[in-house]
């Protein structure tokens, strides 16, 4: 079965970089990794994370995590007795949907256009509903691949600032694939942003290291939720992540991935010419409009091609889409032929 579900790529030398790092560990560093992984980041580690994310220096706290999904879930758990509802985009990350449903939240999809949610629609929601959280993927959105421009981010920030105790959950999973992204909400409105960042996509899924950055005065005790749900972070992966963020190796790997993404963007422009789809140059997934998504995915599975239906991502939008992702197979020689088979199946509907 060809897996066209995974939307973040890996490159072979990631394993070599990790292996080389492990070989440099001193006896003292190996001993340190035997300690319980419950301590917070040291100052030098926090400085590396802040620099990498262009985060404010003093007003933002940093909580180490094993994964971004865990960070989002811990945020939702912490806010559960403070708000029954969450504002979000009409299409959104299925993992967020599952976490919100498990905790009993109601999702309020906000009217959107090609630039993201509409500020006036968000303002109306916050006025009329009991929402204290706004979940967004503003840079190379999953699944639509949209990128929210700076002016829209600033307008949304102004709306959020005008309401007491409302916060943006910024899930910035795919920002690394944008060569020149707009400033993050963490930069635009740090006092109202709960920013989640993970190395599992930017580097490799094996690296269970992520961070939650949040303003002081909120999420007190969230580190206890991290420990409760995961038993803490891996000191090995955290130290490795800090190393590659600080020495330039992560930036090099990201450039490789962006180049591969641009190559496949050009290929998809040819293969899917005439069909309606959205794809950002450099991303490893695209959002393809189809007349009959259930029939299409069933037909493709019978041909050993697996793609998810749009219904997995929708909160209130049309489900007449599928998301096609290249992350697991971008370097396989048969990918182009498989994509041509997908395009042909859509054209015949």
Say how many C-beta atoms besides its own lie within 10 A of residue 1's C-beta.
Answer: 10
Residue 98's pLDDT is what?
97
20-38 CB burial, b ≥16 within 10 A, e <16 = ebeeeeeeeeeeeeeeebe
Backbone φ, ψ for residue 169 (5° rounding): -90, 110
Of 200, 218, 249, the one marking the end of a domain is 249
Q: Are 24 and 83 within one domain? A: yes
Partners of residue 62 on adjacent β-strands: 213
Of 226, 249, 272, the one marking the end of a domain is 249
Q: Are 232 and 262 within one domain? A: no
Q: Are 7 and 18 within one domain? A: no
What does the pLDDT look like over 137-190, one tens digit per residue?
A: 999 999 999 999 999 999 999 999 999 999 999 999 999 999 999 999 999 999
Q: Are 89 and 166 within one domain? A: yes
- Rounded CA-CA distance 156/178 in Å is 21
Judge contact between 283 and 174, C-beta under 8 A.
yes
Q: Are 238 and 296 within one domain? A: no
**What is the span of the domain harbouring residue 272?**
2-11+251-347
Q: Are 155 and 296 within one domain? A: no
What does the pLDDT look like over 71-95, one tens digit per residue?
A: 999 999 999 999 999 999 999 999 9
Mean pLDDT of the chain: 95
Q: Are 65 and 126 within one domain? A: yes
Domain CATH code at residue 312: 3.90.1150.10
Q: Are 255 and 160 within one domain? A: no
Say how many C-beta atoms besides its own lie within 10 A of residue 294's C-beta.
Answer: 13
Q: Are 29 and 176 within one domain? A: yes
Q: Are 149 and 245 within one domain? A: yes
Decide the pairing of beta strands 85-88 and 131-136.
Answer: parallel
Q: Are 167 and 231 within one domain? A: yes
- Rounded CA-CA distance 258/220 in Å is 37
Judge contact between 76 and 93, C-beta under 8 A.
no
Q: Are 264 and 241 within one domain? A: no
Three state DSSP letters for the chain: CEECCCCCCCCCHHHHHHHHHHHCCCHHHHHHCCCCCCCCCCHHHHHHHHHHHCCCCCCEEEEEECCHHHHHHHHHHHHCCCCCEEEECCECCHHHHHHHHHCCCEEEECCEECCEECHHHHHHHHHHCCEEEEEECCECCCCCCCECCHHHHHHHHHHHHCCCCCEEEEECCCHHHCCCCCCCHHHHCHHHEEEEEEHHHHCCCCCCCEEEEEECCCCCCHHHHHHHHHCCCCHHHHHHHHHHHHHCHHHHHHHHHHHHHHHHHHHHHHHCCCCCEECCCCCCEEEEECCCHHHHHHHHHHCCEECCEHHHCECCCCCCEEEEECCCCCCCCCHHHHHHHHHHHHHCC
Judge contact between 343 and 304, C-beta under 8 A.
no
Number of domains in the chain: 2
Full-model pTM: 0.95
- Rounded CA-CA distance 123/208 in Å is 36
Domain CATH code at residue 105: 3.40.640.10
* pLDDT tens sequence for the chain (349 residues): 999 999 999 999 999 999 999 999 999 888 877 776 666 788 999 999 999 999 987 778 999 999 999 999 999 999 999 999 999 999 999 999 999 999 999 999 999 999 999 999 999 999 999 999 999 999 999 999 999 999 999 999 999 999 999 999 999 999 999 999 999 999 999 999 999 999 999 999 999 999 999 999 899 999 999 999 998 898 999 999 999 999 999 999 999 999 999 999 999 999 999 999 999 999 999 999 999 999 999 999 999 999 999 999 999 878 899 999 999 999 999 999 999 999 999 999 9
């Amino acid at each position: 079965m060809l897996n066209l579900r995974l939307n973040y790529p890996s490159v072979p030398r990631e394993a070599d970089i990790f292996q080389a790092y492990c070989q440099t560990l001193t006896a003292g560093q190996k001993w340190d990794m035997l300690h319980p992984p419950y301590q917070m980041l040291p100052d030098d580690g926090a400085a590396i994370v802040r620099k990498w994310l262009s985060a404010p220096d003093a007003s933002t706290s940093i909580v180490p995590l094993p994964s971004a999904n865990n960070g989002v879930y811990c945020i939702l758990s912490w806010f559960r007795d403070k708000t029954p509802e969450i504002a979000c985009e009409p299409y959104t990350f299925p993992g967020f949907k599952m976490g919100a449903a498990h905790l009993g939240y109601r999702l309020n999809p906000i009217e959107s256009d090609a630039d993201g949610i509409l500020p006036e629609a968000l303002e109306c929601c916050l006025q009329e509903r009991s929402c204290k959280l706004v979940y967004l993927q503003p840079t190379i959105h999953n699944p639509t691949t949209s990128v929210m421009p700076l002016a829209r981010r600033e307008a949304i920030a102004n709306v959020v600032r005008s309401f007491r105790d409302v916060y943006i959950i910024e899930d910035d999973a795919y920002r690394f694939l944008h060569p020149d992204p707009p400033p993050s909400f963490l930069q635009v409105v740090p006092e109202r942003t709960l920013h989640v960042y993970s190395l599992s996509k930017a580097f490799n899924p094996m690296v269970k290291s992520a961070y939650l950055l949040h303003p002081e005065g909120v999420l007190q005790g969230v580190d206890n939720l991290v420990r409760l749900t995961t038993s803490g972070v891996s000191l090995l992966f955290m130290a490795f992540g800090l190393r590659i963020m600080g020495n330039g190796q992560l930036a090099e790997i990201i450039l490789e991935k962006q180049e591969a993404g641009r190559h496949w963007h050009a290929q998809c422009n040819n293969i899917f010419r005439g069909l309606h789809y959205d794809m950002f140059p450099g991303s490893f997934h695209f959002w393809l409009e189809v007349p009959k998504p259930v029939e299409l995915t069933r037909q493709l599975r019978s041909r050993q091609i697996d793609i998810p239906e749009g219904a997995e991502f929708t909160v209130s939008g049309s489900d007449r889409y599928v998301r096609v992702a290249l992350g697991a197979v971008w370097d396989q020689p048969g990918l182009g032929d498989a994509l041509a088979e997908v395009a042909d199946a859509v054209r015949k509907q």
